[in-house]
Amino acid sequence: MNYLVVLIPTALAMGAVGLLAFFWSLRSGQYDDLDGAAERILLDDEDEMPLAGRGRQQRTERPAGSGVSGDKSMVS
């Protein structure tokens, strides 16, 4: 029974902290736009190039005498 003296106040304190965190998130606007991020992930960004395409484009734009080759298989 002595453990209840510790567990009940601990549970109440944890509940109060959770409730305060919830009210803080309401006041800071965390729940204002619930669908924005879900829809934003589906939109295509026309101006951005995939990471794989960036490397190929940068290699072709280098001058011929730059001394850096695009083939990394020869590097030891």
CA 76 and chain centroid, separation: 35
Q: Which two tokens stand for residue 69?
A: 């080759």
* pTM for the structure as a whole: 0.47
SS3 for 23-61 is HHHHHCCCCCCCCHHHHHCCCCCCCCCCHHHHHHHHHHH
Task: Give the tens place of pLDDT for each residue, 23-60.
Answer: 999 999 998 888 888 888 888 777 666 666 555 555 55
The amino acid at 73: S
Task: Give the tens place of pLDDT for each residue, 19-32.
Answer: 999 999 999 999 88
